[in-house]
Amino acid sequence: LPIRYWRTKSGLEADFVLGREPELAIAVKGTGRVRPDDLKGIRAFTEEHHPRRSVVVSNDPAPRLAGEVEVLPWRVFLERLWGEELI
């Protein structure tokens, strides 16, 4: 499964893009509560490339949806990754 990074000339980015189609786009944020500004990069990637899933991994206290983007606490992200629920 190819893994790459995506960034626009203006600095918007997705930290990990998995798969050729792509399957999954991931942004990692160190914040305790993801805000709309934190979603700009992953949303730009999602609008342009239409991945199957878009996820922001953070220190948020609980999983939630921010439009088409899933915001996951890092522990939940790892559980789902190891449980093969993300791809």
Residue 87: which pLDDT band, with cuts at 50, 70 and 90?
confident
Instruction: Please state the φ and ψ torsions of residue 69, each to the nearest 5 degrees.
Output: -105, 130
User: What is the chain's mean pLDDT, rounded?
Assistant: 96
User: Over the stretch 1-19, which tens digit does the pLDDT of each residue have?
Assistant: 899 999 999 999 999 999 9
User: Over the stretch 23-35, which tens digit does the pLDDT of each residue have?
Assistant: 999 999 999 999 9
| Total-model pTM | 0.94
Q: Helix, strand, coil % (nearest 5) of the chain?
A: 25, 35, 40
